[in-house]
């Protein structure tokens, strides 16, 4: 199996100033190609550390990906190390990267300093993969077997996350060309509402009957639910893809409505598909949100999807009972009789926001996120969620609600409450049984 190591270079990570998110992203992409990540290493901006650790990485892996250490103020250290490790003669100017950088500075009307000019200079032993989102190019070094005992490829990438992520497809394409990798196809099925252990039990037979070249991974998340990733090894054999698709069809029929999407989708990104949209439908269905304990997070999830204004009209965060009563029209008696954290209040909030904001659907949350504020009857982690739909023909409102009980941190409770509310909306739209 082809092995890789990932090495982040920069003091910011070692002093805990920033969290290394690049490595997880890169590791995921390498795994998709069937490459095993042996270790992930973070080291500082120090020549000895860089030299000794990169040498170790190159000896112990086929592919080494570094991020960071290429900023204009210190690119000498990392670039010097890479030049030395690869046996470079001199630095040469990458015309392609310089054209990008020059255009950037001209567009902004900023003077080009020497340290900026130096960014497009690279060791003559590397091939440049241009960085279109920043000024430090990706450097690819293909080192022959004589150097570290076997053929190795080193990719030095920028540390800024959106630059690293932006350049990654080109790096992965190059790795595919340089190494003779087994072809792997991944397909991910997204489920919500069934705990991981129950899910595992339910698909046990199906899982045990999978051919050994078809692997299953469980990927649980507070916001996305449990994702099931199927990886088909030796996918150049097209009959395998066909079998994989058949098994996924079986999975759908076992899990039914627990499946909400595939691949990179989320409960919020499927809303355009869930709600009736022109040109298929005669009108665009719309959504609004009423939040108490989730405090704006549910609306934030929905509006994290670009273009959501086509179906999303907005929300009311009713952190006080007064706002529940005055803006959402929750009857005072409901709060007096059942309390703000109750099925009745959640349902009234969902109906209220749908009416106030004049939308087809409304969803609501009301609960206790913690860490303080619970009682014995209504402990921290309790939440009521509701989803309502108003018929365009009759004007009748249908409403459903559900009780949740969690016991996590305030942050994670809020995430779970919000994603459950989106799932309840999905169930209402799909008219699943309640």
Site residues (CB under 8 A) for a copy of itself, limited to 29-68: 29-31, 36-44, 49, 53
Residue 65 Cβ vs a copy of itself, minimum distance, rounded to whole Å: 12
Give least dist CB 293 to a copy of itself, A: 8
Closer by beta carbon to a copy of itself, 94 or else 101: 101
Q: Measured from the CB of residue 267, what is the shortest distance to a copy of itself in angstroms?
A: 15
Which residues inside 390-409 make contact with a copy of itself, applying CB under 8 A?
A: 409
Q: Is 29 exposed, middle or buried (0-12, 13-18, 19+ CB in 10 A)?
A: middle
β-strand partners of 121: 93
Q: Which is nearer to a copy of itself, 287 or 399 (CB)?
A: 287
Retrieve residue 184's tokens: 């792997």
Compute the half-sphere exposure of residue 171: CA atoms within 13 Å on the CB side of its CA: 28
Q: Note whether 407 and 368 are within 8 A (CB).
A: no
283: enclosing H helix or E strand = none
- The smaller minimum CB distance to a copy of itself, of residues 60 and 80, is found at 60
Please choose, out of 122-130, 249-257, 365-373, 419-427, the segment that lies near a copy of itself by the rule CB under 8 A.
365-373
Under the binding rule (CB under 8 A), the answer on residue 27 touching a copy of itself is yes
Tokens of 71: 């900023």
391 φ/ψ angles, rounded to the nearest 5 degrees: -75, 135
Min CB(333)–a copy of itself separation in Å: 21
Site string for a copy of itself, 203-222 (x = CB under 8 A): --------------x-x---
Does 434 contact a copy of itself by CB under 8 A?
no
Q: Is 408 exposed, middle or buried (0-12, 13-18, 19+ CB in 10 A)?
A: middle
**Interface mask toward a copy of itself for 342-361; x: CB under 8 A:** --------------xxx---
Of 142, 216, 308, 325, the one binding a copy of itself by CB under 8 A: 308
Residue closest to 347 by CA, chosen among 363, 367, 371: 363
Query: How are strands ordered across the β-sheet holding 184-191?
Result: 214-221, 225-233, 184-191, 259-262
Identify residues 316-335 at the interface with a copy of itself (CB under 8 A). Answer: 316-320, 322-323, 326-327
Q: In whole angstroms, how close is the CB of 27 to a copy of itself at the nearest point?
A: 3
Would you say 111 or 372 has its CB closer to a copy of itself? 372
**In the set 333, 372, 377, 396, which binds a copy of itself (CB under 8 A)?**
372
Residue among 26, 100, 203, 345 that touches a copy of itself (CB under 8 A) = 26
- Which of residues 88 and 353 has its CB atom nearest to a copy of itself in the complex? 353
Q: In the complex with a copy of itself, which residue's Cβ is closer, 257 or 321?
A: 321
> Judged by CB under 8 A, does residue 291 bind a copy of itself?
yes
**Residues 68/54, Cβ–Cβ less than 8 Å:** no
Torsion sign over Cα 80, 83, 87, 88: negative
CB 417 within 8 A of CB 299: no
Residue 315 is a binding residue for a copy of itself (CB under 8 A):
yes
By CB under 8 A, residue 419 contacts a copy of itself:
no
Nearest approach, Cβ of residue 91 and a copy of itself (Å): 28
For a copy of itself, the closer CB: 94 or 315:
315
Candidate residues 98, 141, 260, 297; the one interacting with a copy of itself per rule CB under 8 A: 297
Interacting positions 236-255 with a copy of itself (CB under 8 A)? none
Give every CB contact of residue 120 below 8 A, 6+ residues apart in sequence: 93, 94, 95, 97, 98, 101, 135, 137
Integer Cα distance of 132 and 96 in angstroms: 10
HEC string of 334-393 equals HHHHHCCCCHHHHHHHHHHHHHHCCCCEEEEEEECCCCCCCCCCCCCCEEEEEEEEECCC
Separation of alpha carbons 320 and 245, rounded Å: 50
Cβ-contact 334, 342 below 8 angstroms: yes
Task: Looking at 87-128, list the stretches that DSSP marks H as alpha helix, in order from N- to C-terminal side.
Answer: 95-108, 114-117
Residue from 257, 265, 272, 269 nearest 192 by CA: 257
Q: Does 306 bind a copy of itself (CB under 8 A)?
A: yes
* 86 or 359: CB nearest a copy of itself: 359
CA 245 to chain centre: 24
Instruction: CB nearer to a copy of itself: give 116 or 303.
Output: 303
Peptide bond just before 279 cis, omega within 30 deg: yes
Span from 236-244, 256-264, 307-315, 343-351 in contact with a copy of itself (CB under 8 A): 307-315
Q: How far apart are CA 167 and CA 100, in angstroms?
A: 14
- Residues numbered 111 to 170 that lie near a copy of itself (CB under 8 A) are 162
For a copy of itself, which is the closer residue by CB, 221 or 431?
Answer: 221
Is residue 285 within the footprint of a copy of itself (CB under 8 A)?
no
């Amino acid at each position: 199996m082809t092995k890789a190591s990932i090495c982040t270079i920069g003091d910011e990570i070692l002093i805990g100033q920033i969290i290394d998110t690049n490595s997880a992203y890169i590791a995921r992409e390498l795994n998709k190609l069937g490459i095993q990540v042996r270790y992930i290493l973070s080291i500082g901006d120090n020549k000895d550390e860089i030299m000794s650790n990169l040498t170790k990485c190159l000896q112990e892996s086929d592919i080494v990906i570094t991020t960071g250490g290429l900023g204009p103020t210190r690119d000498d250290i990392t670039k010097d190390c890479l030049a030395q490790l690869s046996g470079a003669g001199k630095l040469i100017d990458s015309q392609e990267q310089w054209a990008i950088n020059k255009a950037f500075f001209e567009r902004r009307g900023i003077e080009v300093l020497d340290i900026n000019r130096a960014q497009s200079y690279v060791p003559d032993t590397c091939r440049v993969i241009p960085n279109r989102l920043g000024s430090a190019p990706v450097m690819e070094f293909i080192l022959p077997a004589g150097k570290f005992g076997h053929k190795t490829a080193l990719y030095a990438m920028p540390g800024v996350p959106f630059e690293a992520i932006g350049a990654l497809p080109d790096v992965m394409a190059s790795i595919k060309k340089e190494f003779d990798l087994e072809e792997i196809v991944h397909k991910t099925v997204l489920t919500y509402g069934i705990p991981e252990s129950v899910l595992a039990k339910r698909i046990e037979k199906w899982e045990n009957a999978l051919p050994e070249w078809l692997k299953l991974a469980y990927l649980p998340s507070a916001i996305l639910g449990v994702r099931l990733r199927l990886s088909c090894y030796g996918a150049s054999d097209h009959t395998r893809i066909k079998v994989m698709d058949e098994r996924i069809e079986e999975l759908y029929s076992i899990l039914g409505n627990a499946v909400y999407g595939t691949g990179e989708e989320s409960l919020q990104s499927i809303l355009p598909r869930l709600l009736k949209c022109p040109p298929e439908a005669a009108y665009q269905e719309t959504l609004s949100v009423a939040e108490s304990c989730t405090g704006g997070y549910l609306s934030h999830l929905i509006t994290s999807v670009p273009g959501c204004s086509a179906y999303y009209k907005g929300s009311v965060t009713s952190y006080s009972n007064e706002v529940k009563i005055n803006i959402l029209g929750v009857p005072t008696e409901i709060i007096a009789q059942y309390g703000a954290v109750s099925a009745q209040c959640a349902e009234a909030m969902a109906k209220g926001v749908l009416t106030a904001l004049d939308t087809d659907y409304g969803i609501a949350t009301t609960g206790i996120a913690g860490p303080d504020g619970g009682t014995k009857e209504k402990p921290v982690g309790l939440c009521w969620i509701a989803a309502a739909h108003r018929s365009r023909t009759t004007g009748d409102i249908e409403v459903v609600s559900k009780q949740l009980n969690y016991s996590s941190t305030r942050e994670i409770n809020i995430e779970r409450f919000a994603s459950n509310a989106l799932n309840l909306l999905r169930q209402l739209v799909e008219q699943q049984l309640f």
